[in-house]
Every structure is written in structure tokens, then in C-alpha cells.
């Protein structure tokens, strides 16, 4: 867990989680949401292996950190009106900004860029996991999901 407090680690984990969750909630469906949740879990579980030299990702997403149980996230209460109004996207952007502000100066510029890419990739993985059709088939990334991803990309400077 290195140079980060438990609260800071929670901030680092919350940014990609909220990014993925907010994308999943855009086109919520029983089957598609389950498929998207699995895609999000896969991204989080594979983060440390995908970025072995990134101190940010190693601190927040290493097997030791994830299994320690010390980094806990409050489950956000998802209200339909927040999804429709875009408030969830705004909350995810606030979480992204908080996480980036936290690592700025604590990690190298290449590590920060990789972390930003990881956050974005979590949203992409969720958007591409299931389509809008029956049982998650059909068009994979809806127009609303693509719009959210564009906003995240802009905020992340990618």
C-alpha cells in the first residue's frame, strides 16, 4: 500500500469503479448489468498484472491490497433520477478529479498517464461488455455510453 493512506487508496479505487458503474447505469438491464459488472470485476482484478511497474495501480489494486479488506468503498446509492440527469457521470468525474489530484506529484508522469488510461479502460470495458438487445446482444456501445466515454476521455486528458 506504500505511500498512500487507506483513505487515499479508497479514492484511487473509487475513480475507476465509479467510472465503470456510471457507464453501466446508463443502459441498465438485468442481464446486461450482470455482464457489465463481470467486465468491471475483470478489469479491477487484472489491473496489477497489466501494470506491474505502476506504483499507483500496484498500491491500490495489488492482490494484497484487494484481499486485505482495509480498502472499502461505500456502495453508492443509485437513484434512477441521478442516472437520467447525468448526476452519476458528474460524480464519477469528481471522483476522477480527486484521484488525479491525489497522485499528481506522488507518482511519475508516465504512471499518472497509465492510471488515467486504466480509469478510462474500465469505462470502455463496461460499455463494450453487453449490448442493448435481448440478453446483452446487439449494439455494444450505445450513443449515451459513447457520450459518457467521450466526457471521461476529455476529463482524463486522453
Q: CB of 18 within 8 A of CB of 92? A: yes
pLDDT at 53: 94
Read off the pLDDT of each residue in 95-104 and give the average, rounded to a whole number: 96
Q: Measure the CA–CA gap between 85 and 4, rounded to whole angstroms.
A: 34
Q: Measure the CA–CA gap between 85 and 68, rounded to whole angstroms.
A: 36
User: How much is the mean pLDDT over the chain?
Assistant: 85
pLDDT at 35: 82
pLDDT band of residue 134 (cuts 50, 70, 90) is low
26 vs 52: which has the higher pLDDT: 52
**Domain boundaries along the sequence of the chain:** 6-156
Q: Measure the CA–CA gap between 32 and 133, rounded to whole angstroms.
A: 9
Q: CB of 119 within 8 A of CB of 19? A: yes
Q: CB of 19 within 8 A of CB of 91? A: no
Amino acid at each position: 500500500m506504500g505511500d498512500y493512506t487507506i483513505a487515499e487508496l479508497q479514492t484511487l479505487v473509487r475513480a475507476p469503479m465509479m467510472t465503470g458503474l456510471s457507464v453501466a447505469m446508463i443502459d441498465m438491464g438485468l442481464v446486461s448489468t450482470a455482464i457489465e459488472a463481470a467486465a468491471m470485476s475483470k478489469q479491477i482484478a487484472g489491473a496489477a498484472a497489466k501494470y506491474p511497474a505502476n506504483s499507483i495501480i500496484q498500491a491500490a489494486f495489488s492482490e494484497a491490497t484487494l484481499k486485505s479488506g482495509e480498502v472499502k468503498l461505500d456502495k453508492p446509492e443509485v437513484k434512477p433520477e441521478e442516472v437520467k440527469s447525468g448526476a452519476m457521470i458528474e460524480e464519477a468525474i469528481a471522483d476522477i478529479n480527486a484521484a488525479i489530484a491525489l497522485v499528481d506529484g506522488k507518482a511519475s508522469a508516465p504512471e499518472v498517464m497509465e492510471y488515467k488510461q486504466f480509469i478510462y479502460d474500465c469505462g470502455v470495458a463496461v460499455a463494450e461488455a453487453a449490448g442493448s438487445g435481448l440478453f446483452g446482444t446487439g449494439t455494444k456501445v450505445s450513443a449515451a455510453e459513447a457520450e459518457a466515454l467521450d466526457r471521461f476521455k476529455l476529463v482524463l486528458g486522453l
